[in-house]
């Protein structure tokens, strides 16, 4: 009996210790930045320049910017939770080929940006980036919001409070809580997580054309989450899925061409 009690106590204490550790270091699990600052030219891009945005609290955000061709919109792009801007160079090139402008924001701590990322900081900085474009004279018909993975949680929150021509969500989750609970089913994620990115409740307040892209074999954010987001969203909306595609790995299957078609239809 004593051995059983001791074993149960040890297991409970171990579980609490793991939960506490996950709680303390949760943002290091959520945000996985490459901190190295690179030049767009190193990524094989031409016509793309570095744009520094300074936040009210003094953080300096590295962004890559290319201007739109006359009559074409600018894509305000919010990246996923990992890597650096250079890893999205292929997508920038696709947008350039379509005549789109791009402003791709590096979150705090990513790609040379200063500061530390969080949901509140990322969303505030995304609004700053939107307002930067508006300050250049771009109107709502000149801006397309694009979120990739974690960036979908940012893009949805921007779309609630800022007008745009359209919203593109690449591999969206219903909430970071739901995604985290799926990956750590043995932890009380709903009680521990601070950055919740509750997109499912917010998408109902978005009133602009929506395109959702999702790989059918997505191992990080299951297709069911993208389908749930689509079901909750207002019209007009479209969902395009890609058989065999894993997490945000569908460019080779024509996903960026589908984005171009979506935007072209909005501009008619």
**Total count of domains within the chain:** 2
Residue 10 and residue 106 in one domain: no
Distance CA 183, CA 215 (A): 18
Which carries the bigger pLDDT value, residue 111 or residue 27?
A: 111
For residue range 166-216, what is the model confidence (pLDDT) as tens digits?
Answer: 999 999 999 988 887 776 665 655 666 778 999 999 999 999 999 999 999
Output the average pLDDT for the chain.
Answer: 90
Residue 134 and residue 15 in one domain: no
Distance CA 130, CA 59 (A): 17
Residue 56 and residue 89 in one domain: yes
Residue 223 and residue 244 in one domain: yes
For residue range 52-66, what is the model confidence (pLDDT) as tens digits?
Answer: 999 999 999 999 999
pLDDT at 174: 98
pLDDT at 24: 54
Residue 98 and residue 86 in one domain: yes
pLDDT at 13: 45
For helices 150-161 and 119-135, what crossing angle results, to 10°? 50
Residue 24 and residue 108 in one domain: no
Residue 119 and residue 10 in one domain: no
pLDDT at 238: 98
Residue 63 and residue 94 in one domain: yes
Flag whether pLDDT at 17 surpasses 50: no
CA 67 to chain centroid, in Å, comes to 22
Complete DSSP assignment for 124-172? HHHHHHHHHHHHTT--GGGEEEEEETHHHHHHHHHHHHS--SEEEEES-
Flag whether pLDDT at 252 surpasses 90: yes
pLDDT at 153: 98
Beta bridge partners of 212: 169, 239
Is the separation of the CB atoms in 255 and 242 below 8 Å?
Answer: yes
Domain that holds residue 47: 33-267
Beta bridge partners of 60: 54
pLDDT at 204: 97
Helix (H, G, I), strand (E, B) or coil at 102: strand
If phi over 0 gives left and psi between -120 and 50 gives alpha, with beta otherwise, what is residue 64?
beta
Distance CA 158, CA 71 (A): 23
Flag whether pLDDT at 218 surpasses 90: yes
Sorting pLDDT into bands at 50, 70 and 90, what band is 15? very low
CA 44 to chain centroid, in Å, comes to 23
Residue 125 and residue 150 in one domain: yes
Residue 62 half-sphere exposure toward CB, CA atoms < 13 A: 22
Residue 217 and residue 246 in one domain: yes
Is the separation of the CB atoms in 170 and 149 below 8 Å?
Answer: yes
Percent of the chain with pLDDT over 90: 80
User: Burial level of 249, CB count in 10 A (0-12/13-18/19+)?
Assistant: middle
Helix boundaries (H) for the chain: 2-24, 26-30, 89-97, 119-135, 150-161, 176-183, 189-192, 199-202, 223-232, 255-267
Q: What are phi and psi of 30, to 5 degrees?
A: -75, -45
Helix (H, G, I), strand (E, B) or coil at 71: coil
Percent of the chain with pLDDT over 70: 85
Residue 262 and residue 180 in one domain: yes
CATH number at residue 108: 3.40.50.1820
For residue range 87-97, what is the model confidence (pLDDT) as tens digits?
Answer: 999 999 999 99
Residue 105 and residue 193 in one domain: yes
pLDDT at 5: 61
Distance CA 146, CA 154 (A): 9
Which parts of 79-120 are beta strand (E)?
82-83, 101-105
Report, as an integer, the average pLDDT of 151-155: 98
């Amino acid at each position: 009996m004593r051995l059983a009690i001791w074993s149960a106590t040890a297991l409970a204490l171990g579980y609490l210790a793991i939960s506490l550790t996950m709680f303390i270091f949760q943002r290091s699990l959520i945000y996985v930045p490459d901190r190295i600052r690179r030049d767009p030219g190193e990524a094989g891009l031409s016509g793309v320049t570095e744009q520094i945005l300074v936040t009210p609290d003094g953080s300096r955000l590295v962004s890559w910017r290319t201007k739109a061709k006359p009559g074409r919109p600018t894509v305000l792009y919010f990246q996923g939770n990992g890597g650096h801007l250079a890893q999205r160079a292929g997508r920038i090139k696709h947008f350039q080929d379509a005549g789109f402008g791009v402003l791709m924001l590096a979150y705090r701590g990513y790609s040379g940006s200063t500061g530390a990322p969080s949901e509140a900081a990322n969303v505030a900085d995304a609004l700053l980036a939107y307002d930067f474009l508006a300050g250049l004279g771009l109107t709502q018909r000149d801006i397309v919001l694009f979120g990739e993975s974690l960036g979908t949680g940012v893009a949805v929150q921007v779309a609630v409070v800022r007008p745009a021509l359209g919203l593109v969500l690449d591999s969206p989750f219903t909430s970071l809580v739901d995604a985290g609970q799926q990956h750590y089913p043995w932890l009380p994620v709903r009680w521990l997580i601070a950055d919740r990115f509750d997109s499912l409740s917010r998408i109902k307040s978005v009133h602009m054309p929506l395109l959702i892209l999702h790989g059918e074999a997505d191992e990080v954010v299951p297709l069911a989450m993208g389908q749930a987001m689509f079901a909750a969203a207002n019209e007009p909306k479209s969902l395009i899925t890609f058989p065999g595609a894993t997490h945000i790995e569908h460019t080779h299957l024509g996903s960026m061409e589908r984005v171009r078609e979506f935007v072209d239809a909005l501009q008619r």
